[in-house]
Amino acid sequence: MTQTLSQKFARVVLYAFLLIVFCGPFWGILATAFNSATVQPGKLLLWPEEFTLRHFSYAWHEAKAYVYLFNSLLVALIGTALQTLVSAMAAYALARKRFRGMAVVSLAILSTMMLPEEVIAIPLYLTLQAKIPVLDVSLYNTYFALILPVVGWAFSVFLLTEFMKAVPQDLEDAARVDGASELQIFRHVILPLVKPALGTAAIFGFLMIWDQYLLPLIAVDKRELYTIPVVLRSMRVDEIMQSNIFIAVTVIATVPSVLVYLALQRQFNSGLTAGAVKG
């Protein structure tokens, strides 16, 4: 596509503007994390005045960021995988099938998204404390307590349902005529066609689980099981610890999210190119 010089210039300006608006502040935060002295509130550094790694060192060693990072990673990776799978299966039923009770199930699942989580904090706590029959153990203070409750996420179901609905019926019918089973249709016909949505749901699911604050707060009270958001909040109100350390922990906490996003986004981008080629 040929563009006039002024069009090109406009594009460059637009890109620069977007980068500054969306990425600029984070550069400043990064500079603060590497800065030795506490930065004056309101001041956004472009470059550390006195470069140091000690905030990161403190965050990693003394503040034990690596423990919480590990917990967050474990919970978010496993949780996302389970969540995307469970949501895809549910979306398949809601998008491609007609059955009695469909509207009720839909609305029930959707309405869970509208509920502020704090309301069910106490009941959920009691549920996690309760002993499971037969096994006679409770989920409390286990990784299960951190993972299982987030496997069900209405947004994921909702997103995948919308996109699965758009798959043309003929493709499915053709496969059925060929004698494919439900599971095969699900795996080989529908899923590949909603790859962008799957990638999107996975990214958002990971971020949601990564950011969870209330659930880890009520699910565990052993420090070794804490996830990053819980620790971050504790550091935010800590008036004795230097604030740069808090920033350093946040930077450490952001790295995995960014990496996961980069990884999933490549797959999601390939979905975009697939669409272009297909046309």
Contact positions with other proteins (CB under 8 A) in 244-263: 247, 250, 253-254, 257-258, 261-262
Q: Which residue has 């919480």 as its token pair?
A: 68
Verify binding: residue 203, other proteins, rule CB under 8 A. yes
Measure the CA–CA gap between 215 and 121, rounded to whole angstroms: 8
Considering only residues 49-108, where is the footprint of other proteins by CB under 8 A? 63, 85-87, 89-90, 92-94, 97, 99, 102, 105, 107-108
Considering only residues 109-128, where is the footprint of other proteins by CB under 8 A? 109-116, 118-127
Query: Which tokens hold the place of 146?
Result: 């951190």
Eight-class DSSP state of 138? B
| Contact residue for other proteins among 141, 142, 143, 162 (CB under 8 A) | 162
Query: Which tokens hold the place of 258?
Result: 């960014």
Q: Which residue type does 83 have?
A: Q
> Quick one: angle between helices 65-96 and 243-278, nearest 10?
30
Least CB distance to other proteins at residue 107 (A): 7
- Identify which of 253, 251, 255 has the alpha carbon closest to the alpha carbon of residue 34: 251
Verify binding: residue 197, other proteins, rule CB under 8 A. yes
Verify binding: residue 46, other proteins, rule CB under 8 A. no
Q: Which residue has 């749901």 as its token pair?
A: 201
**Per-residue x/- track, 123-152, other proteins (CB under 8 A):** xxxxx-x------------------xx-xx
| Contact residue for other proteins among 176, 187, 189, 267 (CB under 8 A) | 176
Verify binding: residue 204, other proteins, rule CB under 8 A. yes
Q: For the chain, first and last CA: distance in Å?
A: 17
Q: Which residue has 């006195």 as its token pair?
A: 50
Considering only residues 5-24, where is the footprint of other proteins by CB under 8 A? 14-15, 18-19, 21-23
Verify binding: residue 48, other proteins, rule CB under 8 A. no
Q: Which residue type does 193 have?
A: L
